[in-house]
Amino acid sequence: MKKKILTAMCCMLTVAALAGCGAAKEDAADSAAAEKAPTIDISDATLLSDGVLNVGCEVGYPPFEDFADDGKTPVGFDIDIITAVADKLGLEVNIINTAWDGIFAGIGVNYDVACSAVTITPERQETMIFSDPYINNYQAVVLMADDDKQISSFNDLNGMSIALQKETTSDILMSDYKSTGTIDVQIVANEKITSCFTQLQNGEVDAVVVDSTVADGYINSSDDFKIAYKDEAEAEQFGIAIGKENTGLQTAINQALKELEEEGYIKETYDYWFGAAAE
Amino acid sequence: MNDFSLKKYPKQIITAAVILLIVVVLAILKPGEQELLSRTSPEMQKLIEADQHSSRKRVTVTYNSLLVINYASLSTSGAKEMSEKYVGFLGNVYPADEGPAKIAGQMVNYTYRMLGVKENLMHGAKLTILLTTLTVVFGILLGTLLALGKISKRKILSKLSGAYIFFFRGTPLLIQMFVVYFTVPGIFGFAWRDLFNASDAEAVYKGAFLAALIAFSLNSGAYCAEIVRSAIQSIDKGQFEASKALGMNYAQTMSRIIIPQSIRRMIPNVSNEFIMILKDASLVFAISLMDITTISKNIMTSEGSYLVFIPALVIYLVITAFFGFIFDKIEKKFSVYE
């Protein structure tokens, strides 16, 4: 008997929940779209659909790309950059949310470019081409603000406990230092970068090794932390990945990025997402 | 559904009616969208104003209404995040920046996103239900053919069906899905997306859904084949002999005598298979589709809120309970043959 009531209730709730929900707020059409004055020639570029730049993006890597509170509007640094680039080319942007696995297989098939915090590496350059880098990322060491230790290279982390995010560049780098015996360091690898900063704050670890872009975001939102060292010798550069044959599009995107750089748009967007303290 | 009559279950009907009434009353008393959004602070209003003159959207306005309660938020992302959240319930609007109102607001927002309200069919709970249901239907059809093939006296047919079942049960579904989605179009030179209208922004997701459905159905077919085969072979041999004595041929025996009886024996296993697929449906994250699990993981990455998994579990349980109920009914219906 009881089971029946429960089932009936469940059915009712499902049906009601699926059917009876109110309207979501529709974003008003972009009023500025009409003012677009494309200045860059894209006649050499190959696009999957006319007038649209289809962009593959793994939405879920804040602050580069993330869904806003409504669960469907992509926002973030990459989104701003690629939207501005498309504006320059006189194209509409269509962001296609993609899993990171296979994101490169989709270039030229499901979307024209991938703009998703993609690091430019020699391996990747064999199968695709990249735009000029639009952001530089370094490995950085973050300490508590009141810590007066001097860090002038990763070697100074000798004897410390550090937290970092699993399977990131930071992880690979520090594991290298440790496994080669260069320094003696205790590595605490976390699933989430947020856990690393909590550990640092709680005194569980002495330092956090992390992407400088992410560190900038944290420094900006809290006075507790400071960047003690940034490995500026080895920059990781993020670029927009483009299909190998599509050099026409590459040229156009590079031109757009150059203009955006000159207009100060990239700096301004960087400040907005990562905080003005950076760079 | 005979046993749902008023005479037999007066209590249930009354309980359902009372619950429905309460829900309707609460839904009517819930404040409207305008009421929630009118609470917006002047600073936020200014930002919204600024947005209208800029090509760059900074403020995201969210409004979720879920039966008896609704939630609105205005938020900017970025390094200096600003957000204002309100929950409307029973004629009142509560600021949802902390305390119980915050949790209630989060729950509404998360549930709303995972159900995929106002989204297309390839999103959230709708995707999960659609994919699972279609997979089971195609799986059973394919499985029946394979089972008949496997028990067939023709050696080649039997071997081929056996090989198919061996292959699809012996390899992981995730890899099968990758093969269907990435490898097959690569070899044959087509794109899943091109099967749909190219000007449709959703074409990519439709293509991915089709690929997922094909992979899931092919895989489920192999499992269903074994379910159907074991059900058919569990029917007493005497039935075959009796049919033969009555002058029926193989096709007639199968379609009129054996399969109708075996359906009842299949149901518990098919129900099991259904629940397995329901949970396996979360694998579609790998080809860019957003099901319940993917959305909940996504929310956790961006907000760091572990609460998101509670509504996710509830949604799964409600779906399972609903379909469990339906399978129960079907099983009862086919029990008349026993």
Angle at A94 between CA B298 and CA A193, to 5 degrees: 30
B143 and B36 within one domain: no
Long-range contacts of A128-131 (CB under 8 A, 24+ apart): A128/A104, A128/A241, A128/A242, A128/A243, A128/A244, A129/A241, A129/A242, A129/A243, A129/A244, A129/A246, A129/A247, A129/A250, A130/A239, A130/A240, A130/A241, A130/A242, A130/A250, A131/A239, A131/A240, A131/A242, A131/A250, A131/A253, A131/A254, A131/A257
**Looking at CA atoms only, how far is residue B238 from chain A in angstroms?**
39
CATH among 3.40.50.300, 3.90.320.10, 3.40.190.10, 3.50.50.60 for A139-230 = 3.40.190.10
Structural domain that includes position B101: 31-115
Question: CB of A59 within 8 A of CB of A66?
Answer: yes
- pLDDT top residue among B326 and B306: B326
B137 and B109 within one domain: no
- Neighbouring CB atoms inside 10 A of B307's CB total 15
Residue A2 has pLDDT above 70, yes or no: no
- Structural domain ending residue among the three candidates B115, B147, B179: B115
**Range from A191-195, B41-45, B154-158, B273-277 carrying the lowest mean pLDDT:** A191-195
Location of each CATH 3.40.190.10 domain in chain A: 42-136+236-274, 139-230
- Chain A residues with beta carbon closer than 8 angstroms to that of B178: 102
Inter-chain touch A31–B321, beta carbons under 8 Å:
no
Q: Which of A58, A110, A279 to mutate to test the interface with B (most CBs of B within 10 A)?
A: A110
Inter-chain touch B75–A7, beta carbons under 8 Å:
no
In a domain, B14, yes or no: no
Can you read off the two tokens belonging to residue B160? 């081929």
H or E segment and range at residue B65: strand B59-66
Residue B83 has pLDDT above 90, yes or no: no
What pLDDT is attached to residue A45? 85
B305 and B167 within one domain: yes
- Chain B residues with beta carbon closer than 8 angstroms to that of A16: 23, 67
Structure confidence by residue, pLDDT tens digits, B94-143: 888 888 888 888 899 999 989 988 888 888 999 999 999 999 999 999 99
- pLDDT top residue among A190 and A174: A174
Can you read off the two tokens belonging to residue A232? 């500026």
- Chain B residues with beta carbon closer than 8 angstroms to that of A76: 77
In a domain, B182, yes or no: yes
In a domain, B4, yes or no: no
CATH of the domain at B329: 1.10.3720.10
| pLDDT, chain B, mean | 87
CB pairs under 8 A between A and B: 182
B12: nearest CB among A8, A105, A271: A8
Three-state SS at B249: coil
Identity of residue B43: E
Q: What is the 3-state secondary structure (H, E, C) of chain A?
A: CHHHHHHHHHHHHHHHHHHCCCCCCCCCCCHHHHHCCCCCCCCCCCCCECCEEEEEECCCECCCEEECCCCCCEECHHHHHHHHHHHHHCCEEEEEECCCCCCCCCECCCECEECCCCECCHHHHCCEEECCCCEEECEEEEEECCCCCCCCCHHHHCCCEEEEECCCHHHHHHHHHHHCCCCCCEEEEECCHHHHHHHHHCCCCCEEEEEHHHHHHHHHHCCCEEEEEECCCCCEEECCEEECCCHHHHHHHHHHHHHHHHCCHHHHHHHHHHCCCCC
Structure confidence by residue, pLDDT tens digits, A232-250: 888 889 999 999 999 999 9
Question: What percent of chain A is modeled with pLDDT above 90?
Answer: 32
Residue A18 has pLDDT above 60, yes or no: no
What pLDDT is attached to residue B314? 94
Q: What is the mean pLDDT of residues A98-113?
A: 87
Residue A55 has pLDDT above 70, yes or no: yes
- Neighbouring CB atoms inside 10 A of A178's CB total 16
B109: nearest CB among A69, A75, A109: A69
What pLDDT is attached to residue B5? 56
Query: Domain count of chain B?
Result: 2
B111 and B128 within one domain: no
In a domain, B16, yes or no: no
- Chain A residues with beta carbon closer than 8 angstroms to that of B115: 17-18, 21
Cα separation, A66 vs A82, in Å, equals: 14
What is the band of B282 on the pLDDT scale with cuts at 50, 70, 90?
A: very high
What pLDDT is attached to residue B228? 94
- What would the CATH number be for the domain defined by A42-136+236-274? 3.40.190.10
**Looking at CA atoms only, how far is residue A105 from chain B in angstroms?**
8
Cα separation, B189 vs B179, in Å, equals: 14
Strand partners, B70: B65, B88
Inter-chain touch A10–B321, beta carbons under 8 Å:
yes
Inter-chain touch B78–A63, beta carbons under 8 Å:
yes
Residue B146: is it exposed, middle or buried by C-beta count within 10 angstroms (0-12/13-18/19+)?
A: buried
What pLDDT is attached to residue B338? 64
Q: What is the mean pLDDT of residues B211-224?
A: 96
**What chain A residue is nearest to B84 in terms of C-alpha separation?**
A69
- pLDDT top residue among A27 and B324: B324
**Range from A225-229, B57-61, B202-206 carrying the lowest mean pLDDT:** B57-61
| pLDDT, chain A, mean | 82
Can you read off the two tokens belonging to residue A103? 């994101």
Structure confidence by residue, pLDDT tens digits, B18-54: 999 998 888 888 888 888 888 888 888 888 888 777 7
Inter-chain touch A99–B11, beta carbons under 8 Å:
no
Q: What is the mean pLDDT of residues B160-167?
A: 96
Residue B90 has pLDDT above 90, yes or no: no
Inter-chain touch A75–B60, beta carbons under 8 Å:
yes
What pLDDT is attached to residue A32? 40
Inter-chain touch B62–A5, beta carbons under 8 Å:
no
Q: Which of B61, B278, B296, B323 to mutate to test the interface with A (most CBs of A within 10 A)?
A: B61
A67: nearest CB among B52, B61, B298: B298
What pLDDT is attached to residue B6? 58
**Range from A46-50, A94-98, B136-140 carrying the lowest mean pLDDT:** A46-50
Residue A33 has pLDDT above 50, yes or no: no
H or E segment and range at residue B45: helix B42-52
**Looking at CA atoms only, how far is residue A267 from chain B in angstroms?**
14
pTM comes to 0.77
Cα separation, B84 vs B267, in Å, equals: 50
**Range from A50-59, A118-127, B112-121, B302-311 carrying the lowest mean pLDDT:** B302-311
What pLDDT is attached to residue A8? 52
Question: CB of A130 within 8 A of CB of A120?
Answer: yes
A5: nearest CB among B15, B60, B65: B15
What pLDDT is attached to residue A28? 37
Cα separation, A3 vs A267, in Å, equals: 61
- In angstroms, what CA-CA distances link B172 with A127, B181, B219? 28, 14, 9
Inter-chain touch B318–A274, beta carbons under 8 Å:
no
Can you read off the two tokens belonging to residue A258? 């150059």
Inter-chain touch A217–B20, beta carbons under 8 Å:
no
Q: What is the mean pLDDT of residues A218-231?
A: 84
- Structural domain ending residue among the three candidates B115, B132, B148: B115
B132 and B105 within one domain: no
Helix axes A2-19, B309-334, angle to 10 degrees: 120
In a domain, B248, yes or no: yes
Inter-chain touch B287–A102, beta carbons under 8 Å:
yes
**Looking at CA atoms only, how far is residue B107 from chain A in angstroms?**
12
Residue A106: closest CA among B186, B211, B176, B123: B186
Question: What percent of chain B is modeled with pLDDT above 90?
Answer: 41
Three-state SS at B88: strand
Residue A1 has pLDDT above 90, yes or no: no
Strand partners, B73: B62, B85
Q: What is the mean pLDDT of residues A104-124?
A: 89
- Chain B residues with beta carbon closer than 8 angstroms to that of A72: 119
B150 and B73 within one domain: no
Question: What percent of chain A is modeled with pLDDT above 70?
Answer: 85
Identity of residue A171: D
Inter-chain touch B78–A96, beta carbons under 8 Å:
no
Q: What is the mean pLDDT of residues A150-174?
A: 87
Inter-chain touch A67–B302, beta carbons under 8 Å:
yes
Q: Which of A36, A47, A70 to mutate to test the interface with B (most CBs of B within 10 A)?
A: A70
Can you read off the two tokens belonging to residue A99? 């899993």
B170 and B249 within one domain: yes
**Range from A28-37, A71-80, B144-153, B165-174 carrying the lowest mean pLDDT:** A28-37
B217 and B147 within one domain: yes
- Structural domain ending residue among the three candidates B115, B136, B162: B115
